[in-house]
Amino acid sequence: MSRNDTTQFGPPRPAPAWLGWGALLFFLFTQVYAVVTSPADAMMGHLQKILYVHVPSAWVTFAAFGVVLVASIHFLWKEDERADLLAAASAEVGAMFCGLTLIQGMLWGRPTWGVWWSWDARLTSTLVLFLIFVGYLALRSFVEDPHRRGQWSAAVGILGAINVPIVWMSVRWWRTLHQIQSDPREVAPVFLRGWLLNVAAFSLIAVWFIWKRYEAARYERAAEHAAQAAALGGNNG
Amino acid sequence: MTMKRSKWGALAAVGVLVMAFGWLIYGGLDSNVVYFLTPKELAAKGVEGMDKPVRLGGQVKPGSVVWDEKALDLRFTVTDGTSEIAVHSKGAPPQMFKDGQGVVIEGRYGKDSVFKSTSLMVKHSNEYKAPEKGERPSEMYKSLMKSSGS
């Protein structure tokens, strides 16, 4: 049994409701703002609007998997169960946004590139990233012992997170169909404002999601410990 | 003591996995996965590059596009600035296809030195610009919607 199981930390700090509502309202505002204030792009017309969900989704994916990396290393090092639960919450949110990024990209690719999908390095590496974290979540549900589950999933989480810089650099390391990252200087200010505002809004939503999932995971884990203690007959440890 | 040892063991295992994984990615992908060949590279392969599925990437040479709307027959030249290859494609190209546009074409380079396309993809730039005066992006939008709806 781990030395620092969550029973000794008391209840988690609840995610404040104002953060959730604030993130939602801010997101609605930034979406409307971005769409209303930006003209059609010179090349692709109003299809450019997909930028306002695709790029923020990708950014949130990378950030969430970054949290998985740090929390997983922290768990292996300190054996603090809370880090394992934070990694799990972030992996879940990251996987969801990664899936969204892929779908939005396909919807964008069909009318601009002419194809839904192509096996270039950016698309392939993003799909691999998504599948690794789907695997991560599956692994967690297969392993019964919480401590072993934490160790195994931390290893997978670290391996998965290593893919993030590979996905990011893929458009520069290899020839791809996907264009390279847009430098803010190459994006007209009229598009840039809505873009950055939406990155902020998506980030807030992700923080809310992760916090909420982490809170739930803490209670689940407390119940797990209680059940274990009951099975052992009374006193825990 | 045993706790310490298992911790270091787990970290070492992760370290080994990470290195193996990194080697796979870098060693494997870097040398083998070339998404497309430039006209110069494909031409340099000679007969070896012919009659097998490859991707060809470059720019549409301005003025080279010949489009037969009735037969849905498209001919153009792809260039990388130094070499060029003639391309023959069936079917309507993506709406963003035009002179000077970056393209990636799947198909086979025939013995007749014409690249027969099975799939034509448009590569778009990372720049976003508001339309200049006189440009009509709204019409572009309509035609794009029409083509993607079909």
In tens, the pLDDT along A35-72 reads 998 888 887 888 888 999 999 999 999 999 999 999 99
- Domain with B52 in it: 39-126+136-149
Verify whether the Cβ–Cβ distance B95 to A111 is below 8 Å.
yes
Half-sphere exposure of A79 (CA within 13 A, CB side): 15
B124 touches chain A (CB under 8 A): yes
Residues B142 and B72 in one domain: yes
B66 falls within a domain: yes
Residues B85 and B109 in one domain: yes
Residues B88 and B112 in one domain: yes
Confidence (pLDDT) at A225: 85
CA B141 to chain A, closest CA, distance in angstroms equals 5
Q: Is A182 exposed, middle or buried (0-12, 13-18, 19+ CB in 10 A)?
A: middle
Specify the CATH number for the domain of residue B109: 2.40.50.140
A187 touches chain B (CB under 8 A): yes
pLDDT digits (tens), chain B, 150 positions: 445 556 677 677 767 777 776 666 665 555 456 789 999 999 898 888 888 889 999 999 999 999 988 889 999 999 998 899 999 999 888 888 888 889 999 999 998 989 999 999 999 877 787 766 555 544 444 444 444 433
* Identity at B87, one-letter amino acid code: V
B74 falls within a domain: yes
Instruction: Return the residue in A177, A180, A192 with the most chain B beta carbons within 10 A, the one to mutate for interface testing.
Output: A177
Residues B71 and B13 in one domain: no
A101-140 burial code (b ≥16 CB/10 A, e <16): bbebbebbbbbbbbbeebebbbbbbbbebbebbeebeeeb
How many domains does the structure of chain B reveal?
Answer: 2
B131 falls within a domain: no
B88 falls within a domain: yes
B75 falls within a domain: yes
* Identity at B128, one-letter amino acid code: Y
Confidence (pLDDT) at A234: 58
Residues B29 and B55 in one domain: no
Residues B27 and B85 in one domain: no
Instruction: Return the residue in A113, A167, A172 with the most chain B beta carbons within 10 A, the one to mutate for interface testing.
Output: A113
Distance of CA A110 to the CA centre of its chain: 25
Residues B88 and B58 in one domain: yes
B26 falls within a domain: yes
Cα–Cα dist B35/B121, whole Å: 13
Residues B11 and B46 in one domain: no
Longest dimension (CA), chain B: 80
Residues B144 and B85 in one domain: yes
Residues B26 and B48 in one domain: no
Q: Report domain extents, chain A.
A: 17-225
Q: What are phi and psi of A75, to 5 degrees?
A: -65, -45
B90 falls within a domain: yes
